[in-house]
């Protein structure tokens, strides 16, 4: 299925919940290019993902990557890179949430392998995934101050009595 | 062939060696520096290469041990993250005296490439535990690690029981 068909299908089924389609041109450096689509209503991300997984001609059965980014304008984005291992097509979703209230529904119930990826996004960017079964830090210490990949993060002077800056 | 004859000429029949306590203890210590078997990052690959047959660290008496209770040296081979630093300190405290530390590679010497933006990296393992020998390199070749080990052996050779 081409990206345009996927976009059409999503727009028809989730009217006004999905936004603009950003088409990406293939480059010689990337053998597989996907397109991504904005999800305007963050609370619908789980439903959209479930739809993408279960629809017979979509079958996105693999969440290749869940990444998060700090846009620098007091918003965070979460990007879902999806792949269908049976139908051999890829697509991406992007949902943006405000920094003051960074809550995104968890998709662990859709793809079980989202578990650790969401924990990493929580660890590094502080995005709260609602409905996650075990939302703990995955890499840093439990009592580490702040979320280090945020743009406004300041390295602490001391951590557990150890000096951190050079 | 009585006992009194032997007392008159105690060194004729061999098997007796006159030495100093310091020399004997230091020789024993530097010839069996058992190493704590753990690695932290890419330096650990070089440390394993130094342990393997080509460089054969075992000819210096370095045997990797699975427990800190049986180890004499700890080779900090790699990036010391803040999370690992507290564990390293516990492991160091669990090692019996006398114990020695070789800091291997730029990361554990001074933070290495993470010196500026490493929010999670301890800038030098000597902020947590005392280091005897620093081995520079990123990562150091096995020869460099062996050189560091021989430097440590020199240091042990110069020790005295009265001072340690």
Percent of chain B beyond pLDDT 70? 90
Rounded Cα distance, B54 and B143, in Å: 11
Contacting residues of B for A141, CB less than 8 Å apart: 82-83
Per DSSP, what are the bridge partners of residue A104? A129
Q: How far apart are CA B50 and CA A119, in angstroms?
A: 37
Q: Which residues of A fall within a CB distance of 8 Å from B127? A: 162-163
| Residue A42: predicted pLDDT | 85
Global pTM reads 0.80
List the structure tokens of A52: 């993408």
How many A/B residue pairs have CB atoms within 8 Å?
Answer: 33
Answer yes or no: do A148 and B85 touch at CB < 8 A: no
- Residue B115: closest CA among chain A residues belongs to which residue? A166
Q: Are B107 and B90 in contact (CB under 8 A)?
A: no
For chain B, say whether A142 makes contact (Cβ under 8 Å): no
- Cβ of B123 within 8 Å of Cβ of A155? The answer is no
Average pLDDT of span B121-145: 93
> What percentage of chain A has pLDDT greater than the value 90?
48
- Show residues of chain A in contact with B120, CB under 8 Å: 139-140, 144, 148
Closest among B159, B139, B149 to B73, alpha carbons compared:
B149
What is the per-residue pLDDT across A91-138, written as a single tens digit (0 to 9) for each?
Answer: 888 899 999 999 999 999 999 999 999 999 999 999 999 999 999 999
Which tens digits make up the pLDDT trace of B84-108?
999 999 999 999 988 999 999 999 9
Q: Which residue of B has its CA nearest to A147?
A: B119
Give the pLDDT score at B164.
56
CB crowding B38-60: b at 16 or more within 10 Å, else e: bbbbebbebbebbbeeebebeeb
Check if B126 contacts A (Cβ < 8 Å). Answer: no
The pLDDT, as a whole number, for residue A7 is 82
Burial class (CB in 10 A: 0-12, 13-18, 19+), B25: middle
pLDDT given for residue B5 in this prediction: 66
Burial A24-55 (b: 16+ CB within 10 A, else e): eeeeeeeeeebbbbebeebebbbebbebbbee
B113 part of contact set with chain A, CB < 8 Å: no
Q: Which of A6-20, A73-87, A143-157 has the lowest mean pLDDT?
A: A6-20
């Amino acid at each position: 299925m081409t990206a345009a068909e996927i976009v059409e299908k999503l727009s028809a089924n989730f009217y006004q919940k999905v936004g603009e389609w950003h088409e990406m041109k293939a480059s010689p450096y990337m053998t597989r290019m996907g397109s991504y689509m904005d999800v305007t209503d963050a609370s619908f991300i789980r439903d959209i993902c479930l739809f993408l997984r279960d629809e017979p001609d979509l079958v996105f059965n693999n969440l290749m990557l869940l990444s998060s980014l700090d846009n620098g304008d007091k918003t965070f984005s979460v990007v879902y890179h999806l792949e269908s291992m049976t139908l051999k097509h890829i697509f991406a979703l992007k949902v943006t949430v405000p920094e003051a209230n960074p809550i995104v529904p968890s998709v662990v119930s859709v793809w079980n392998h989202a578990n650790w990826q969401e924990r990493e996004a929580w660890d590094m960017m502080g995005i709260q995934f609602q409905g996650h079964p075990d939302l703990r830090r995955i890499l840093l210490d439990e009592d580490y101050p702040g979320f280090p990949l945020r743009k406004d993060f300041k390295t602490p002077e001391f951590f557990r009595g150890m000096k951190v800056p050079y | 062939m009585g006992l009194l004859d032997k007392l008159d000429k105690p060194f004729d029949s061999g098997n007796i060696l006159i030495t100093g306590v310091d020399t004997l203890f230091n020789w024993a210590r530097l010839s069996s520096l058992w190493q704590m078997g753990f690695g932290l990052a890419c330096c650990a690959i070089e440390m394993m290469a130094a342990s393997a047959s080509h460089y054969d660290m075992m000819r210096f008496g370095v045997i990797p041990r699975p427990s800190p209770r049986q180890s004499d040296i700890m080779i900090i081979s790699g990036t010391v993250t803040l999370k690992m630093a507290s564990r390293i300190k516990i492991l160091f405290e669990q090692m019996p005296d006398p114990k020695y530390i070789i800091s291997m590679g730029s990361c554990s010497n001074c933070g290495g490439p993470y010196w500026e933006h490493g929010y999670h990296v301890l800038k030098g393992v000597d902020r947590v535990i005392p280091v005897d020998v620093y081995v520079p390199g990123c990562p150091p070749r096995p020869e460099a690690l062996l050189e560091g080990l021989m430097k440590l052996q020199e240091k042990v050779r110069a020790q005295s029981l009265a001072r340690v």
